[in-house]
Amino acid sequence: MSELVLTDQERARAGARLVTLLDRYERDLPGSRVLPEPDRAQLATLLADSVPEKGIGVDGLFDRIEDVILPNSTTVAHSRFLAYVLGPPNGVAAYAEAVAATINQNCNFWQLSPAASVVERSVLEWLTSIVGFPSTAKGILTGGGSLATLQALATALEDRVPGFRRTGLQQSAHPLVVYTSVEAHRSVDKAAAILGIGLDHIRHIAVDDQNRMDVAALSAAIDADREAGLRPWCVVATCGTVATGSVDPMDAIADLCQEQELWLHVDGAYGGLFLLCEEMRDLMGGAARADSISLDPHKLLFAPLEAGCLLVRDGTTLRAAYAFESSYLTVTEDPLMTDYMDYGPQLSRNFKALKVWSALQAFGVDAFRAATRRTLELSQQFARGIEATAGLTLLAPVTLTAICFAVEGASHDEHTELLETLAADNTALLGPVMINGRHGIRACITNHRTTTEDIDLILARLREPNLLRR
Amino acid sequence: MSELVLTDQERARAGARLVTLLDRYERDLPGSRVLPEPDRAQLATLLADSVPEKGIGVDGLFDRIEDVILPNSTTVAHSRFLAYVLGPPNGVAAYAEAVAATINQNCNFWQLSPAASVVERSVLEWLTSIVGFPSTAKGILTGGGSLATLQALATALEDRVPGFRRTGLQQSAHPLVVYTSVEAHRSVDKAAAILGIGLDHIRHIAVDDQNRMDVAALSAAIDADREAGLRPWCVVATCGTVATGSVDPMDAIADLCQEQELWLHVDGAYGGLFLLCEEMRDLMGGAARADSISLDPHKLLFAPLEAGCLLVRDGTTLRAAYAFESSYLTVTEDPLMTDYMDYGPQLSRNFKALKVWSALQAFGVDAFRAATRRTLELSQQFARGIEATAGLTLLAPVTLTAICFAVEGASHDEHTELLETLAADNTALLGPVMINGRHGIRACITNHRTTTEDIDLILARLREPNLLRR
């Protein structure tokens, strides 16, 4: 037998250890530390001991995971983990990932993964319906929002730059320009840099007093670039900016893109999936007019990392950007199955769709809608609490679930200290933020476990005298 | 309680179902079909039923997985799954992935994932030592070999193109040119197209009679491009071509790159990890002279998909290509921990290192070396068997574990039919190949479960009269 397979006995042992670990992890959550202090000496042994010649076996592995890995990991599933945009995995995440790892389907072309191909399509068609794209849309699950944005921009290049695949960007008489707002996620800059567009060809458009892209300023920037002999090419609008959750004016931007013949990509990594809730359609329904949209099921669908998504209105343009011939693969199109290697930069791909699909099946859309709606309500509760507290100020309107606030008169260092204090006494893990040059604190309730009691607890702590060590 | 969390009872049930599924899957493997015929009517129900409003619960989910997903998935773990370069996951894969999904560490910056940061570093330092890179090297785990190559080329752009981040490729007076062989993986073309280099600026250099890049032809192509006013920039050499497993002459190419001041990337996605075996150092040890190398732990380390890797000799160049400032993240460098978002295109990243590290811990390096060595030996057994069989011809020398052969006088269609027959009667899943315009069949033993008996069984079937339906 292969030396890399478990015996029946070892497999039984591994199963028992896993079940115990998962159960204990869940039961210990309420009393766990949201941000444990890492034991650096212990972690350093991971480097010093490095990789053993002889294996330590199943029990040795689980011991090591429980003794070294778990205590030195953040408790993302804690109900007061409210930093960045990262949530606790849903309840079937571990099981779905274990199955995916076992069957190890390669989601490159369908013959190697028939069920996976249809499951991914099912998830993508459902996401398409949520954002209101037409049935001509196609998409692909990605390694997250940053890669989805990069893949969208590469699609826009192939679609809008004549001869792009053959000559690339290397013979641009009129350099392309991409527009986004000053509040956009840095992944837009990063993608544009990686793709050879260059930061000199990105315009960061000013925002209005609600942190939304200023469409008049966008229009003026486009005009100025055309006059300068550059070629306006693409606008990246944000549906839920990472700092404040603001939503760019989708319809006005879509009108302008149509008039100016620009590709419109909507970065919906944080906010797009709030479209699960009917009441958000007025605010962000215009995202359906985009040429492409990125979403992150590993945020609001609480899939474990990584599960990003790119949807493109005209699916043929997505395929045109990524389909390549290859001498050792023979593939044909199929009415039911999809060869996802023709829709993105990867050849070998794992079965990301299983964890998304499994959770939707097990819990149903209703449960996700309810959880999402609750995060919106808790955010309003948090915002009202901040507003009602002397000495605290909201730094921005709370549109979605990001609550940005400052302690009046506190410096950047004092805010940093406060964040550390709140984490150290296990009040909550919140994050730093800077808005219009003002430093502050940001809570983001991308957490289906957070309760009104959690918010009350945090607010009570924020109202204590001598909150700042000064 | 959150509607997306399992109750204690549901969790116990999910654990029991998972343990049973994993056990049954393993026990059923010997009798399983390597390539089941997909039940299209059943798969179509996944689209028609789509996503339910009310969840079907834990048992409903496991039933659906067992009834619809598993029977319509290929059996990658079958000992005669010998198609493409895809192997059965090692024995702890499912457990490691379940733990990773549960703790859901975001491996972007270390404060959110201290243990994960050190585990990834431990894996990368071990891989660095395997390929013989200096300790100045840094790397990152990626979503596979194609992305690793793309990330390598983007690093080479940042390093070798003055002002790349600011101006991109949009003002190239002298277009950059990248060189690879006609036998290189298509991901090189794909990456170059996506990155705006353009297929017109890729040279596919001829190979010698052992399918290795012809260095004289490479040198001539570089000279010709310089004379034409283009700018030779990068060579992608292959350590294990996907079709035949040939290894480009690393030292001669490294000499030329040094002389010509070109970035040398080695695509070691398939072959690089054979360096686990001392006896391969003569053949591919020169890969250590590269500026960057891509590896695929999801191939020879039998990690479940996805686990690719990029290593860059001078780690500062990798960081220079991917580190960006961001207003809402404050990060500082740390002697023990690494912020991996500064080493690749993603911000949010999952804990890919856990599955690689877990298997190395549980089984030890010795076990991987033994498994790798066995795949090399089985490949020689297979090759000898083909050579000893009248009517079959090897299409290429067997350097690693890819065995390419043809039925003498058979057409492309006949080879395709033969592949289908072998899969249908469960002899083996092999793949198609084309070498020097000649169609044939390719077996690739990236499989730690394959035995000499499996090879004998396949050879016996290939020796049967009336193998071809003609």
A contacts of B149 (beta carbons < 8 Å): none
Answer whether A348 sits within 8 Å of B74, measured CB to CB.
no
B35 phi/psi in degrees, rounded to 5: -135, 85
The per-residue DSSP string of A163-185 comes to THHHHTTTT-SS-EEEEEETTS-
Among residues B255, B152, B258, the alpha carbon closest in space to that of B197 is found at B152
Say whether B43 and A115 touch across the interface (CB within 8 A): yes
The pLDDT-based confidence of A327 (bands split at 50, 70, 90) is very low
Residues of A in contact with B60 (CB under 8 A): 361-362
Instruction: Report the pLDDT value the prediction gives residue B326, as an integer from 0 to 100.
Output: 53
DSSP assigned state of A300 = T
Q: CA dist B376 to A21, A391, B162, B371, B403, Å?
A: 38, 70, 44, 9, 11
Please judge whether B186 and A347 are an interchain contact, meaning their C-beta atoms are less than 8 angstroms apart. yes
Query: Can A105-350 and A364-462 be said to share one CATH topology?
Result: no
Please list every residue in chain B whose beta carbon sits closer than 8 Å to the beta carbon of residue A57.
Answer: 362
Beta pairing class for A231-238 and A431-435: unpaired
* Cα angle value B214/B219/B224 (rounded, 5°): 125
What does DSSP assign to residue A201?
A: G
**Which residues have C-beta within 8 Å of that of residue B268, sequence separation ≥ 6?**
B131, B239, B240, B284, B287, B293, B294, B295
3-state secondary structure of B434: strand
Q: For position B327, what pLDDT does the model report?
A: 43
pLDDT above 90 covers a percentage of chain A that reads 94
User: From A347, which residue of chain B is nearest by alpha-carbon distance?
Assistant: B146
Domain ranges of chain A: 8-31+37-73, 105-350, 364-462
Q: Residues of B with CB below 8 A from A61's CB?
A: 92, 95, 358, 361-362
Q: Which residues pair with A181 in a beta bridge?
A: A205
Q: What is the average pLDDT score of chain A?
A: 95
> Cβ of B305 and A351 within 8 Å?
yes
* A–B CB contacts, 8 A cutoff, strictly below: 563
User: What is the chain B residue with the closest CA to A363?
Assistant: B55
Mean pLDDT of A210-227: 98
Cα dihedral sign, B401-B404-B407-B408: negative
At residue B436, the pLDDT reads 87
**Superfamily grouping for domain A364-462:** Aspartate Aminotransferase, domain 1 (3.90.1150.10)
For A200, nearest residue in chain B (alpha carbons)? B166
The three state secondary structure string of B19-38 is HHHHHHHHHHHHHCCCCCCC
Question: Which chain A residues are within 8 Å of B122, Cβ to Cβ?
Answer: 46-47, 50-51
Distances, alpha carbon A232 to alpha carbons A176, A177, A192, A226, B197, in Å: 6, 5, 14, 7, 20
pLDDT in tens, B335-359: 999 999 999 999 999 999 999 999 9
The letter for the amino acid at A353 is A
In Å, what is the CA distance from B452 to each residue of A137, B34, B393, B434, B459?
A: 48, 18, 20, 26, 11
How far is CA A134 from each of CA A131, A138, A142, A423, rounded to the nearest angstrom?
A: 9, 9, 21, 45
CA distance A459 to A80: 12
CA distance B389 to B387: 5
Q: Which CATH architecture has domain B105-350?
A: 3-Layer(aba) Sandwich (3.40)
pLDDT score at A334: 87
CA distances to A5, A11, A324, B423 from B27, in Å: 12, 11, 39, 21
- Supply the CATH classification number for the domain B365-462: 3.90.1150.10
User: Is A89 in contact with B98 (Cβ distance < 8 A)?
Assistant: no
Q: In A130-250, at which residue ranges do the beta strands (DSSP E only) sit?
A: 138-142, 176-181, 202-205, 231-238
For residue A467, is pLDDT > 90? no
Are A168 and B166 a contacting pair at CB < 8 A?
no
Closest-approach residue (CA) in chain B for A155: B194
Question: Any idea what DSSP says for residue A232?
Answer: E
Tell me phi and psi for residue B369, to 5 degrees.
-65, -45
Interface test with B, best of A104, A130, A302, A358 (most B CBs within 10 A): A104
Optimal mutation site among B51, B187, B336, interface A, most CBs of chain A within 10 A? B51
Query: 3-class DSSP state for residue B311?
Result: strand
Specify the DSSP element, H or E, that contains B264: strand B263-268
> How do residues A222-235 score in pLDDT, each as one tens digit?
999 999 999 999 99
pLDDT tens sequence for chain B (470 residues): 799 999 999 999 999 999 999 999 999 999 999 999 999 999 999 998 779 999 999 999 999 999 999 999 999 999 999 999 999 999 999 999 999 999 999 999 999 999 999 999 999 999 999 999 999 999 999 999 999 999 999 999 999 999 999 999 998 789 999 999 999 999 999 999 999 999 999 999 999 999 999 999 999 999 999 999 999 999 999 999 999 999 999 999 999 999 999 999 999 999 999 999 999 999 999 999 999 999 999 999 999 999 999 999 999 999 999 998 754 445 567 899 999 999 999 999 999 999 999 999 999 999 999 999 999 999 999 999 999 999 999 999 999 999 999 999 999 999 999 999 999 999 999 999 999 899 999 999 999 999 999 999 999 999 998 887 65
Q: Is B435 helix (H, G, I), strand (E, B) or coil?
A: strand
- Residue A280's alpha-carbon distances to A87, A447, A452, B75, B193, in angstroms, are 20, 18, 22, 43, 38
Sheet with B308-312: strands ordered across: B138-142, B308-312, B292-295, B263-268, B231-238, B176-181, B202-205
Q: How far is CA A236 from CA A213, A294, A309, A349, A357, in A?
A: 10, 10, 16, 27, 28
Q: Within a 13 Å sphere around the CA of B376, how many CA atoms are in the beta-carbon half?
A: 20
Nearest residue of A to residue B324 by CA position?
A190
